[in-house]
A and B are shown apart, each in its own frame.
Chain A
Amino acid sequence: MTRKQRRLTLIAMAGCALAFATGLILFALNDQIVFFQSPSDIAAKAPAPEQRIRLGGLVESGSVVRGQNETVTFSVTDGDASVNVTYTGILPDLFREGQGVVTEGVVNAQGTFVADQVLAKHDENYMPKEVADALKEQGHWQEDAQSANYE
């Protein structure tokens, strides 16, 4: 095989691998990504019943109800609208009323958000970026509260 042929073989192989990967990525992107929405977004336009979304906002104060079993319900709010969420499982350590939270799941027929994942951040000074942005849009963001510092 000449050097030129060898190079062509290599390029062809690389091309095949790349095409394969691109195909996979496009397929996965079509199917497997999750959109982030705020309670206002959901209030404005309810997502399709089976569509997975990420819902972010603050846990509404006084809304957390722990039932007699392992299911918890609470509301997530961005100040303008709020969405009821049910979740079965163990809530993260830093899940608190009035704190930022990101939940992932689907909206059921009754308009309740059924979450199968609840994320609160490891560091309580840390606000999930999406939540911070959503709150900023709604005008409920206070820079000062987030930058409590010495001095």
Chain B
Amino acid sequence: MIVELGHFMLILALVASLYQSVFPMWGAVNGDTRLMRTAAPVAHIIFAFVLLSFVALTYAYLTSDFSVLNVAENSHSDKPLIYKISGVWGNHEGSILLWVLILALFGSLVAGFSGKLPQNLKAATLGAQGWVSFAFLLFVILASNPFLRLANPPVQGRDLNPMLQDVGLAIHPPLLYVGYVGFSIVFSFAIAALIIGRIDAAWARWVRPWVLISWIFLTLGIAMGSYWAYYELGWGGWWFWDPVENASFMPWLTGSALLHSALVMEKRDALKVWTIFLAIVTFSLSLLGTFLVRSGVLTSVHAFAVDPSRGLFILAILMVFIVGSFVLFAMRAPALKQGGLFAPISREGALVLNNLFLTTATAAVFFGTLYPLLLEAATGEKISVGEPFFNLTFGPIMVPVLLLMPIGQLLTWKRSDLKGVTQRLSLVFALACVAAALLLWAEGGRQVFALIGFALAFWTILGSFWELVERVAPRKVGFARAWHRLIGLPKTVWSTALGHLGIGVTALGVLCVSQFESEKVLVMHPGETTSFQEYQLTYEGFEDLAGPNYQERVTSYSLSKDGEFVRKMHPSKRVYVASGRPMTETDIATFGFSQVYLAVGDPVGQSGLVTRIYHKPLILLIWIGCLIMSAGGTIALFDRRLRVAAPLSAKAHRKVANNTGDQQSAQS
């Protein structure tokens, strides 16, 4: 009964979202308050239905109810509990249900936490969210229904792909989806603004928390996915420019642009049309990602089982939303009132440049991802666009972005003095060059490009905090006072600094790994030792063990550094019993931010074993940078003035620090 109730509630959610798509929007356009007031409760109840429905499916997984087709195809009664739960979204149907769940969650959050939003904007936003919910619920029920039943349930399920039996699956998709789907709310806000025909600084202020939340989760989701791929695939790579990775990366790029342009819109009442445009583009790219992952049109390691009818369905949704929203945009955008003026050299100008480069980078990634499709459709020729292409296009476009970041941080709003700013940053520039040269010298690199890259990364890292240093001015006021000032700095200054620091740290990690990583593949026999950089590795042997649902051959290596024993390493090969699928488990030893990565391959001869060793210097910086970025975003989120209820209470006012922007333009 629980399963069937889950199915029924999903259908109720569909019809409720049909209501949501029509009536509150109608109310918003015609000023009917009664209709508008139904939007919030309906948003809540849609969320409740989808949540309970998701719980019902989870229940079916937990109890191994193989009368549910989806469970029979993707679960197994011997699977450990956590993978029974995460297995719910480890397949197409379940993951799209999770997608819809998060969609409904955001609808409910907007309904619940935006009491001060003008009623028509709120109703129209929830209405637009209702369109998205309706489209995807329809897709779930018609084309990927997880609640279909089997008349003759099998005694055992087919088990989850071993690749997915990992904590990574428990965390990565939910994070990523919160990011992806969060942008749907931003999209809905944009559509609502276009339909109501009014967009103002307050709109930007209401939207920014949602952009921030989505951006934070997307950042974490992408980072988590990348780390998961890194340790699980056994190839030692952390980013493959795989179409599906690109699909999550493109919304991240435009989302980052949106974050900045919304700031300009809020502070300076400028870039309105552009912000709306970015909101639409970001969500369209999220939809495109969903389409790419699920239609199988592109070869990808992430592809779900291919089903053309599903692909067509999502393509239809994609076309309706993208074409529809851009037509609406074309019709209404010219009517939007233009906002504040600014000189090219100003913080706005820098942010415009940032947006420009981020969108150009998105375009390059977009092109590289879809070009094989286009070419095949046009000429029938099959090509693959891989890492070299993206390194050559995306890399150079990022150079000006990194270069501009510290400068932009110091520019003032409206008009500014570039010469003064560059003078203030000359010390940072010198330090960055020295640091890069030192690093290259220590690691023995020779390339000029590497030197430039490292200098750029250090420039970003040091520059991100320069604003703080200048504002606090420890040498001028003494350290005690400086500390006091540091604490009292507005949250926006901190969040900007951390966000940019994160980018710099990630860039540094990427450069270090690509410049200094090394790899060794060899056949090892028990007792044999190989040395590798400053490490020595001895193969000791293996033993066969049984896991809960797999057989495992666990190898044993002992790792020494400079002749001193560090730890044992146990990479292994598993064979999952139910599916008979093999799976390689790597073992990674961490030294500070660097890692030694060990994977085993096939046995050779009597006792030999193919062993693959990587040394990954400073690789952890890549993900630590992402964490720092997210921390920056989180601080921005907790800035009181960004809370959803825009107007501040009198009490909160006393706590609020200076309005950074206005203060700076005053100083200039």
Contacts and interface: CB of A to CB of B under 8 A. Distances in A.
B392 interface: yes
Nearest to B69: A150
A32 B386 contact: yes
A25 B610 contact: no
B600 A32 contact: no
B407 to A, nearest CB: 15
Interface string B305-327: 11000000000000000000000
B299 A130 contact: yes
B600 A150 contact: no
Contact of B305 (A20, A126, A128): A126
A61 B579 CA distance: 21
A70 interface: yes
B367 interface: yes
B158 to A, nearest CB: 8
B388 A28 contact: yes
B605 A25 contact: no
Contacts of A128: 299
B385 A33 contact: yes
B371 A24 contact: no
A90 B234 contact: yes
A8 B565 CA distance: 65
A31 B386 CA distance: 11
Interface in A96-151: 102, 104, 119, 121-126, 128-130, 133, 150-151
A36 B604 contact: no
B661 interface: no
Given A10-B352, A20-B397, A133-B382, A89 B392 contact: no
B397 A24 contact: yes
A89 B364 contact: no
Interface string B186-211: 00000000000000000000000000
A13 interface: yes
Contacts of A17: 356-357, 360
Nearest to A131: B299
Interface in B21-48: none
A63 interface: no
Nearest to B72: A150
A45 interface: no
A129 B353 contact: no
B403 interface: no
A76 B305 CA distance: 24
A42 interface: no
Contacts of A104: 384, 386
Given A90-B521, A124-B581, A54 B384 contact: yes
Interface in B329-351: 338, 341-344
A94 B575 CA distance: 11
A88 interface: yes
B303 A91 contact: no
B540 interface: no
Interface in A18-77: 18, 20-21, 24-25, 27-29, 31-36, 54, 66-70, 72
Contacts of A27: 392
Contacts of A121: 301, 303
Given A25-B364, A28-B392, A150-B73, A93 B161 contact: no
A91 B522 CA distance: 13
B604 A25 contact: no
B608 A68 contact: yes
B392 A35 contact: no
Which of B306, B343, B522 has the largest number of chain A CB atoms within 10 A? B306
A123 B522 CA distance: 27
A94 B612 contact: no
Interface string B273-311: 000000000000000000000001111010101100000
B523 interface: yes
Which of B296, B344, B522, B579 has the largest number of chain A CB atoms within 10 A? B344
Which of A32, A35, A88, A104 has the largest number of chain B CB atoms within 10 A? A32
A151 B69 CA distance: 10
A93 B386 contact: no
Contact of A89 (B389, B393, B612): B612
A66 B389 CA distance: 33
Nearest to B575: A93
Contacts of A66: 602, 604
Contacts of B581: 93-94, 124
Given A29-B371, A34-B386, A35-B382, A123 B305 contact: yes
Interface of B: 69, 72-73, 150, 154, 161, 163, 234, 296-299, 301, 303, 305-306, 338, 341-344, 352-353, 356-357, 360-361, 363-364, 367-368, 371, 381-386, 388-389, 392-393, 396-397, 521-523, 579, 581-584, 599-602, 604-605, 608, 610, 612
Closest 4 pairs (CB-CB, A-B): A90-B601, A36-B382, A32-B388, A28-B392
Given A21-B360, A90-B600, 20 more contacts: A6-B344, A13-B352, A20-B397, A25-B368, A28-B393, A29-B371, A31-B388, A32-B388, A33-B371, A33-B386, A68-B604, A69-B522, A69-B604, A90-B599, A90-B610, A93-B582, A104-B386, A123-B163, A124-B579, A126-B305
